[in-house]
């Protein structure tokens, strides 16, 4: 039978390599980092019955090293390999108008202009968490879209009366893509 102390030392060496690799490559991946942390504690549990084979200082070093590994793995769960360099941009802001109803959603004009080149109001509604009609209205307000043909117009009759006529649109004149 192999020497348990040598096996534990070899297992520690392999564990140390795996944890160092995980700390360099898996920042923010909580599930995988927790697996490595559990492996470290399993090694310590496996070493407990063989405590008498270790010198007191070597076993204390093993305990301290496992504790340090666990702390570093816990810290790595909250880190990212691509940290944010500055504050995030606000794309949609609600402004209370003091009137009844829902607050107005103001969309960042630069973002909206760029986003509308990639997708239409329907495609953006899920990203901006608002109705496609709201996106269309903001695009019209900012001059990013062309208003459609009027649905009706008022025509004054010769006797002074008013008559409403409804147009039947053949095609859309909107410049926004339907995606």
Which pLDDT tens digit goes with each residue over 50-98? 999 999 999 999 999 999 999 999 999 888 766 677 787 789 999 888 8
Residue 166 confidence class, pLDDT cut points 50, 70, 90: low
Q: What integer pLDDT is reported at residue 110 of this predicted model?
A: 93
71 and 110 share a domain?
Answer: no
26 & 62 share domain: yes
State whether 72 and 12 are in the same domain. yes
- Count of alpha carbons within 13 Å of 117, Cβ hemisphere only? 5
Closest residue by Cα to residue 50 from 14, 3, 1, 17 = 3
Is residue 21 domain-shared with residue 67, that is, in the same domain? yes
Count of beta carbons in the 10 Å neighbourhood of residue 75: 12
What pLDDT, on the 0 to 100 scale, is given for residue 1?
47
Quote the pLDDT of residue 179. Answer: 52
The residue range of the domain holding 139 is 92-166
b/e 27-66 (16+ beta carbons within 10 angstroms → b): beeeeebeebbebbeebbeebeeeeeebeeeebeebeebb
Inside any domain, residue 87? no
CA–CA distance, 75 with 33 (Å, rounded to integer): 10
Is pLDDT at 121 greater than 70 in this prediction?
A: yes
Q: Which of 85, 43, 94 is nearest to 67 (CA)?
A: 43
Do the domain assignments include residue 48?
yes
Among 44, 77, 110, the domain-final residue is 77
84 assigned to some structural domain: no
40 plus 10 within the same structural domain: yes
* pTM score: 0.47
Based on the fold, state whether residues 62 and 21 are members of the same structural domain.
yes
Domain boundary residue, one of 77, 108, 136: 77
Q: Contact 74/37 with Cβ under 8 angstroms?
A: yes
Domain count, the chain: 2
Instruction: Report pLDDT for 81.
Output: 65
């Amino acid at each position: 039978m192999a020497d348990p102390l040598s096996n534990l030392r070899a297992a520690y060496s392999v564990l140390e390599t795996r944890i160092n690799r995980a700390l360099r490559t898996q920042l923010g991946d909580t599930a995988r980092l927790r697996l490595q942390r559990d492996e470290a504690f399993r090694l310590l549990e496996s070493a407990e019955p063989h405590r008498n084979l270790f010198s007191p200082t070597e076993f204390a070093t093993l305990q301290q090293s496992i504790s340090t590994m666990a702390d570093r793995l816990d810290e790595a769960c909250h880190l990212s390999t691509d940290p944010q360099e500055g504050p995030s941009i606000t794309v949609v802001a609600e402004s209370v108008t003091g009137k009844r109803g829902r607050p107005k959603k103001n969309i960042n004009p630069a973002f909206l202009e760029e986003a509308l080149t990639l997708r239409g109001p329907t495609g953006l509604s899920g990203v901006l968490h608002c109705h496609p009609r709201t996106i269309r209205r903001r695009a019209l307000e900012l001059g990013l879209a062309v208003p459609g043909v009027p649905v009706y117009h008022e025509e004054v009759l010769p006797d002074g009366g008013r008559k409403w006529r409804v147009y039947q649109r053949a095609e859309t004149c909107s410049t926004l893509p339907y995606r």
